[in-house]
Amino acid sequence: MIATHTLASGMGGLRTAGDLVARMQMTGMRVGEAKKYVAGKLKVSTRDLADEVIMNEVRDDLNIGRVVSHHGKARGIQAKMNIGKLLNLELNSVRRFMEKVN
Amino acid sequence: MVLTRFGDGELIEVDGSKIKEDLQAGMEDASDRGKIAPLRSEDLDRLYEICTRPGKMVGVEKGNEIIMTGDSPSIGSVPRGFSVNRLQMLQTYERVCGMDTAESGFIDYSYKAVKTVATEERSWVEQASHLLTIPLFYGAMPDLGRYSRPDGPVHNWAELLPQGKIGESRDAQEEAAEYCIKDLVYVASEMYEGGAEGIDFDTTGAAGDADFYAALKAAEILKEKYPDICIEMGMAGEFVLGMHGRLTYDGVRLAGLYPHEQVKLAEKAGVTIFGPVINNNSKKSFAFNLARAVTYCRACVEAANIPVHPNVGLGVGGVTTVEVLPVDVVSRVSVAMAEVGKADGL
């Protein structure tokens, strides 16, 4: 069921920019406002945000994690550190991680 | 003739005029019960097109995609009977399914149950927060009924009510709500401090208005404690059952509230994402249920200032009440909620 919804109307998560738009919704933004915010930060159009080909390259350039996880590239908490800086968000998971590292 | 389904999933073949008739009836049913605006004729035309579009699977137009949150995908392997641990399930949702968010949870999906294993849960949530790139929620049900005897410490209001002990029943629910609020705040705090980025109060209101009250109060306390926390509140039914009948929040009586009214109180409590539920009638057609669900959803979206993610799982939001869900139904609900219901996500 989740797979069907994701294919029918989902943004695509890590395959595209779905996780980034979700992060802005988690601050209370409606979907249109969240898409515009993320598109502005990534310097792409809102339609590009759900395009797998474009977003795979953009994510690789910005080192914010991709669905194909190559060596030498950020993933997991590393990618989230870069996402927080990009979206100007202090992510809770990153803050908790850094509390243990510092 | 068009192939469509009944609310219980049965495949039927009907004339297009029957689908139009059922869409109109479903929309009017929601509008009458909820005292909300009906859909416009162009919205009904769009729903008809979605219901009758050829193809087993349908999808939104490019640019109309919305955000996916889910209630406890991490434990999805358990009822399906295959051996994958919860971290692997979440990574599968992230890297195979393309989910926008992930949600961790315990197989006994209740905050009261999680309380006893909260430190262990926090430990694996910490690991999950390091592994995943997509936002991580922790979710469970407020599950107020668990606080009544024989499972909990207070008198069972479901037994008191038939005995005519209305006052005692109300006292028991109020006492249970206080226990529930403490557990919701304790478990949510553990998971948030462990690295979860969002908390999900799922199936809120399942035990009635006191259940909804407990979740609202817990959201209020958590927002005060952690101003940046994201709280998603998913509901249990389309209107709040008045098991207590007199409970209020911010001066508003909770019993009988519909989604467009529920969301206003959720906003006041500090909820970040609201998930309305619209029940499915398995004796009516898919078209009837879809129009009904979309009408409620649209009114909720228009009343809200926060993102709205309607529940679209088994038996809710227009999805048929059947164990293995037909792809044709689920994908049409998905498109209708995004493009006609104007949902921010699902």
Q: Which residues of A touch B129 (CB under 8 A)?
A: 77, 93, 96-97
Look at residues A15, A31, A22, A36 and name the one whose alpha carbon lies nearest to residue A89: A22
Phi, psi of B221 (to 5 degrees): -65, -45
**pLDDT by residue (tens digit) across B202-251?**
999 999 999 999 999 999 999 999 999 999 999 999 999 999 999 999 99
∠ CA B143-B147-B153 to the nearest 5 degrees? 170
Q: Name the domain count of chain A.
A: 1
**pLDDT by residue (tens digit) across B156-206?**
999 999 999 999 999 999 999 999 999 999 999 999 999 999 999 999 999
DSSP 8-class letter at B60: P
Q: What percent of chain B has pLDDT over 90?
A: 96
Question: What value does the mean pLDDT take over residues B61-88?
Answer: 89
Task: Provide the domain limits for residue A65.
Answer: 2-101
Q: Are residues B133 and B5 in the same domain?
A: no
Task: Please return the burial class of B115, using the count of CB atoms within 10 Å of its CB with bins 0-12, 13-18 and 19+.
Answer: middle
Q: Are residues B221 and B261 in the same domain?
A: yes
**pLDDT by residue (tens digit) across A65-79?**
999 988 999 999 999
Please give the structure tokens belonging to residue B80: 């399906």
CA-based nearest residue in chain A for residue B324: A1
Q: Are residues B39 and B100 in the same domain?
A: no
Residue B100 near residue B65, CB atoms below 8 Å: no
Q: Are residues B154 and B264 in the same domain?
A: yes
CA dist list (Å): A10 to A46, B98, B343: 14, 8, 12
Please give the structure tokens belonging to residue B104: 């961790």
Q: Are residues B33 and B91 in the same domain?
A: no
For β-strands B230-235 and B198-204, DSSP reports them as parallel
Contact B307 A5 (CB under 8 A): no
Phi, psi of B255 (to 5 degrees): -60, 130
Residue in A5, A26, A50 nearest the CB of B346? A5
Contact B68 A10 (CB under 8 A): yes
- Residue linked to tokens 């009822």: B79
Please give the structure tokens belonging to residue B11: 């495949």
Q: What percent of chain B has pLDDT over 70?
A: 100
**pLDDT by residue (tens digit) across B9-26?**
999 999 999 999 999 999
pLDDT at B73 over 80: no
Q: Are residues B18 and B134 in the same domain?
A: no
Rg (CA), chain B: 20
Residues 212-251 of B with CB under 8 A from A: 228-230
Residue B204 in any domain: the answer is yes
End-to-end CA distance of chain A: 42
Q: Are residues B28 and B74 in the same domain?
A: no
Q: Are residues B259 and B191 in the same domain?
A: yes
Residue B306 in any domain: the answer is no
CA-based nearest residue in chain A for residue B59: A8
Distance separating alpha carbons of residues B290 and B272, to the nearest angstrom: 26
Residues 4-63 of A with CB under 8 A from B: 4-16, 18-19, 21-23, 25-31, 34, 46-47, 49-51
Distance separating alpha carbons of residues A79 and B105, to the nearest angstrom: 23
Residue B315 in any domain: the answer is no
Reported in sequence order, the residue ranges of chain B that DSSP labels E, i.e. its strands, are 2-5, 11-14, 102-104, 136-140, 198-204, 230-235, 248-249, 252-253, 273-275
A70 has a chain B CB within 8 A of its CB: no
Distance separating alpha carbons of residues B304 and A79, to the nearest angstrom: 32
Residue B51 near residue B287, CB atoms below 8 Å: yes
Q: Are residues B225 and B334 in the same domain?
A: no
Mutate one of A16, A23, A29, A31 to test the B interface: name it (highest B CB count within 10 A): A31
Distance separating alpha carbons of residues A32 and A39, to the nearest angstrom: 11
Say how many C-beta atoms besides its own lie within 10 A of residue B107's C-beta.
12
Task: Provide the domain limits for residue B141.
Answer: 58-275
Residue B320 in any domain: the answer is no
A98 has a chain B CB within 8 A of its CB: no
Q: Are residues B121 and B221 in the same domain?
A: yes
Q: Are residues B41 and B115 in the same domain?
A: no
Residue in A7, A23, A69 nearest the CB of B135? A23
CATH of the domain at B77: 3.20.20
Residue B67 in any domain: the answer is yes
Q: What is the pLDDT of residue B264?
A: 98
Q: Name the domain count of chain B.
A: 2
Residue B117 near residue B106, CB atoms below 8 Å: yes
pLDDT at B80 over 90: no
**pLDDT by residue (tens digit) across A18-64?**
999 999 999 999 999 999 999 999 999 999 999 999 999 999 999 99
Q: How far is B335 from chain A (nearest CA, A)?
A: 6
**pLDDT by residue (tens digit) across B302-333?**
999 999 999 999 999 999 999 999 999 999 99
Residue B258: band (very low, low, confident or very high) from pLDDT cuts 50, 70, 90: very high
Contact A30 B344 (CB under 8 A): yes
Sign of the dihedral through C-alpha B300, B302, B308, B312: positive
Distance separating alpha carbons of residues B238 and B276, to the nearest angstrom: 7
Q: Are residues B139 and B165 in the same domain?
A: yes
Distance separating alpha carbons of residues A72 and A95, to the nearest angstrom: 23
For β-strands B2-5 and B11-14, DSSP reports them as antiparallel
Q: What is the pLDDT of residue A70?
A: 86
Contact A76 B131 (CB under 8 A): yes
Q: What is the pLDDT of residue A1?
A: 83
Contacts from B79-88 at CB under 8 Å and sequence distance 24+?
B86/B124, B86/B128, B87/B124, B87/B127, B87/B128, B87/B131
Question: What value does the mean pLDDT take over residues B81-101?
Answer: 92
Residue B316 in any domain: the answer is no
